[in-house]
Chains A and B, each alone.
Chain A
Amino acid sequence: MTDSVAMGEGVSADAVGRTGPGWSDLGALCLTFFALGVTVNVLVLERVGSESLTVVAAIAINSATTELAYVAVRDAGGTQLAAVIAGWVVASRFGLLAVSLGARLRVGHWHRAAAGLQSFDPNVAFAIQQRSARDVVRVFWRVTAAMHVGWLSGIAVGVFLGNVIGDAQRFGLDAVFPAALLAIIGNLLRRRSGALAAAVGGGLCLVLIPIAPAGVPIIASLIGAVVALAVTSGDPT
């Protein structure tokens, strides 16, 4: 845990403050998930043709990347089985994020289960950068709430007004999610260990995208974390 505690230091006016995200950060996250909700649900609705199924899928699966992966494999002519497996595989990162979050949570079982089911990149990344166990929980749910306000209104707009908006890509909405992720892990990248993990993980993914089955490049990026752990084990924490 020493690594994450030390991470609070050196944080100044940028995205992640010691006391957690401010209102402008939460607003931006809300907008980000709104954009994601619109884009994903326009795509899914086009393919399933049922508004109710699109809404239930978005809320029950609770993972835009899983939906995107499933749709991508089906569009490429993959079987149902291949598409489902791809959807599961890309969601494995939520399991890993839940591990990171779980290691910092000091709460009861039901609370843990609820937090685990809501593990996403932004809320876990913001939460684990907090110093105290109390702040981890507080920041986690605050960011989760902001994300869901955006995601749920994005679903509504995508499903019921999708044909009015037209091509969401015209507004650069597809760049919103990766840019938000980069801003969120920005502080992790300022440390040698974090930068190395990201460089190896991202590099492996880049190399594997053209040759490995969908989803595998993201799983393989785990190796980046292991390499960084081994190489920087002597670093001050």
Chain B
Amino acid sequence: MKLNKYFERSLWVFHLNTGSCNGCDIEIVAGLTPRYDLERFGIKLVGSPKHADVLLVTGPVTSKMADRVKRVYAQTPDPKAVIVVGTCGISGGVFYNSYNLSGSIDKVIPVDVYVPGCPPRPEAIINGVLQAWIKLEKLRKTLKDNSPAK
């Protein structure tokens, strides 16, 4: 996997709803409005997982969605990061132990950043993306230090 310093400055986000109540989705859209303006960090909402660098996943994973989540994750080209937005995606939230759930998102795909809240505020989502930045920066540093060229 390759990473360069431009990667964190241009994160394209694909928003994936795995059975959320739409509360978190509205807050994500709020992050793109002029008040919060995620685009000033180079973050762009894209329509296809093939274009995405970050998967913004909301909601508990319903049984029907589990396979689709895996497929969308596989379709996203490397390097990629996954951010879970909302309590439901972290633990199941109010749907905890429900009969038609596959469980939290990290039981289906690997997750990098968790943003708790029901729903989280747009500031919290922006902070979550920032944490993903920091994580990617650290990863780039380790990749650079361990690269065989040096």
Q: Do A and B come from one complex?
A: no
By a beta-carbon cutoff of 8 Å, the part of chain B in contact with chain A is none
